[in-house]
Amino acid sequence: MGRRQNGMEYERKKARLVNSLRGQGVSEKVLEAMKKVPRHLFVPEVHRDSSYVDTPLPIGYAQTISAPHMVATMCSLLELEKGLKVLEIGTGSGYNAAVMAELVGKDGKVYTVERIEPLVNFAKVNLKNAGYENVVVIMANGSLGYPAEAPYDRISVAASAPDTPRMLLDQLKKGGLMVLPEGDIYQHLYLIKKDEDGNIVKEDWGGVTFVPLVGEDGFRFQTKP
């Protein structure tokens, strides 16, 4: 009985969170996807009571699960549709991948890359428990993307790079979209469009705060997990 009440309370909190995101430029399609994803299953137990508060939460290893409004914003900018193939850099706990998996549907695919092994395992368990079978979690250097399944219709980067990684641009399809933060102390979120001729257009969507993208095509330092 207690577990059922717990679940009902999570649903009420989730509904309040989603309603609070309306009017912030978030597409209705993204809000519907977020309604379906149990964020509490992607949050460490110690922080589970805060699962539906619009704030980032620590998941260990100096990493965080992004605030829901940021997930909603990035997914809206990507204009995700059924059947698309998506690359995510920075799996974290797997929550953002789950939202994108809802948006691309069973005929789409999300490939998500994480460099920290315990988080790879954490995300795999979370995604399995939440029932997402169209997400593939890969342990690798995210700054280099995942060339094995390139090109991608969409790329979502959940860590800030010093500049747009060339390897990621090369793995983006013509006509594709990529969203990523750039900068060190002062970061901005960019929507990157690659047109049918391969030309790149960048739109600045304002200041953000993300963990650094570490690796060969990111920041050249190693953080301790």
- Which pTM was predicted? 0.92
- The residue among 53 and 212 whose pLDDT is bigger is 53
For position 217, what pLDDT does the model report? 66
For position 220, what pLDDT does the model report? 58
Bridge partners of 207, per DSSP, are: 188
From the CB of residue 30, how many other CB atoms can be counted at a distance below 10 Å? 25
Q: Tell me if 126 sits within 8 A of 91, measured CB to CB.
A: no
Phi, psi of 3 (to 5 degrees): -65, -40
Q: Which of 101, 96, 66 is nearest to 85 (CA)?
A: 101
Q: Give the start-end residues of each E strand in 41-134.
A: 57-60, 63-65, 85-89, 109-114
pLDDT surpassing 70 at residue 221: no
| Catalytic status, residue 66 | yes
- DSSP annotation of 110: E
User: pLDDT band for position 224 (50/70/90)?
Assistant: very low
Mean pLDDT of 195-214: 90
Per residue in 136-194, pLDDT (tens digit) is 999 999 989 999 999 999 999 999 898 899 999 999 999 999 999 998 888 999 999 99
Q: Tell me if 109 sits within 8 A of 86, measured CB to CB.
A: yes
Phi, psi of 43 (to 5 degrees): -115, 135
Sketch out the chain's domains with CATH numbers. Answer: 2-208 (3.40.50.150)
For position 178, what pLDDT does the model report? 98
Distance CA 143, CA 113 (A): 9
**CA geometry: angle at 179 spanning 174 and 180, to 5°?**
125
For position 184, what pLDDT does the model report? 85
- Tallying the residues shown for the chain, one arrives at 225
Distance CA 97, CA 39 (A): 11
For position 219, what pLDDT does the model report? 66
DSSP state string for 78-90 = HT--TT-EEEEE-
Choice among 66, 76, 143, 160 that is catalytic: 66
Per residue in 71-130, pLDDT (tens digit) is 999 999 999 999 999 999 999 999 999 999 999 999 999 999 999 999 999 999 999 999
